[in-house]
Structure 1
Amino acid sequence: MYDERLAAATKPFNARGAKVTRCKSCQIAQQYCICEHQPQPSNDFAVLLLVSDAEILKPSNTGRLILDTVEEGYAFPWHRTETQPELLALLKDETYQPVIIFPEDYVDDKQRLIEPNRFETNESKKLLFILLDGSWREARRMFRKSVYLNQFPVCSIKPDALSNYMMRKSENEDHLATAEVASIVFEQFGSLRHSMILREWFAVFRESYMLSKTRLSPDLSRPALNNFIGLIKNENSL
């Protein structure tokens, strides 16, 4: 998806940080690449990311971190006027139960809302969490304009803590990065380990990304990365 969007660009991507030589996979500055530390993916849930056009090329995007942690992960660029047949086929896949993650304040039909601890689904179906990956304004537009999502239940999360996302500033300080949202969802649906792994992997990404910020005084000892490595080693030794 990244390569296709880059090939379609009519001008160079010159956003802030564009001069940094980055790893193509993790989008971290090459000298701080975290790819070798990617976690073992979980099969607890499946994840579908609908990614806004503006988000695809941003190195600070955190949606890719979620896909690092799941065996069954999908990502599609979102378009208002067209929908990929592959996306529609995925949503019709009888092995999945799609659930949209979005704030309840923006859901007109409250009957669509579900509670994680009260939601019952067919045991033969795996939960497919649909996350709208974009700025808050973009995500609201995606939710309103994607009529093919109207048939699915919606889960609204209620985070207890403010966002730890430092790479970009939101107009609301309590708006979460996409990876933070997914971590809370995994926990609320009963997978504490998956939630913890994603939360700590997000911390590694955040720490490593910020090392290329020249206006900051980085901690080159990389405590978040070392904590993550220790966590994985402890799990593997059990």
Structure 2
Amino acid sequence: MSRPQCPRCLRPTTHCLCALIPSLDSRTRVLLLQHPSEVNHALNTARLAALGLLNAQLVVGEVFEDLPALLNPPGYQARLLFPAEDAQPLQAYSPSDLPLLLVVPDGTWRKARKLLHLNPLLAALPRVTLAAGAVSRYRLRKAPGPGALSTVEAIVQALQVLEAPQSFEPLLRPFEALIEGQIAAMGEEVFQRNHGGD
């Protein structure tokens, strides 16, 4: 017997996050390419990001047949937010800059790399990266290394740089409520034992 689910945020209706999801406009267009294994993940942060940004689109799949169209919306230049040797650090727009279509693969690192492998057009995009040393608020998992952020955190950080001084912090409110809810459900003692210390 499954619990009733909110059709928008896909959370159980008793834990619906919709009241916390903002409606933010951005000059940047965000395209989230989500690996199918992430769709039913309890902490589906890509969905939260897509719901909270007016200029965002979430597409689920492994091979994206319509990628040429997705990567070429008129008036934008596509960049892949993914680490690489030649990735350029994001910088604030100057008034004459064409806005970015920020393409964000969503999945574990292994699944995200698989999306790039299966979609050569994606892998061929110029890459951009975030400033080093960001600390994740995602206290429920061990990050694979410094600067490993959840999808919504990476998007917020990218937009804060590109569109300064506009703040995209409100996008993190449902994410933080989600984490607090998970911690409350497992109990403080279990949380401390499993996630409290290094």
Q: 1:104 aligns with which of 84, 103, 108?
A: 84
User: Is the counterpart of residue 68 in structure 1 residue 69 in structure 2?
Assistant: no
Where do 5+ consecutive residues of structure 1 fail to align?
1-17, 219-238
Matches of 1:32 and 1:114 in 2, distance apart?
39
Which residue pairs with 1:43 in the alignment?
A: 26
Q: 1:152 — aligned with what?
A: 125
- What is the deviation of 1:22? 3.8
Aligned letter for 1:60? L
Query: How much does 1:98 deviate?
Result: 1.1
In 1, Cα distance between the equivalents of 2:144 and 2:88? Answer: 27
**Normalised by the size of structure 2, how large is the TM-score?**
0.78
TM-score for the superposition, normalised by structure 1:
0.67
User: What amino acid maps onto 1:114 in structure 2?
Assistant: Q
Which amino acid in 1 is paired with 2:119? S
1:223 aligns to what? none
RMSD of the TM alignment (CA)? 2.9
Q: How far apart are 1:134 and its partner, in Å?
A: 0.1
Classify 1:118/1:72 alpha carbon distance in 2 versus 1 (closer, same or farther; 3 Å): closer
Q: Which residue does the alignment assign to 1:84?
A: 65
State the distance in 1 between where 2:5 and 2:140 align. 15
Q: Is the 8 A contact 1:65 1:202 kept in 2?
A: yes
Q: Indicate conservation of the 8 Å contact 1:99/1:127, yes or no.
A: yes
Aligned residues: 189
Deviation at 1:120, TM superposition (A): 6.9
Distance 1:121 1:77 in 2: 33
Structure 2 residues not aligned, in runs of 5+: 190-198
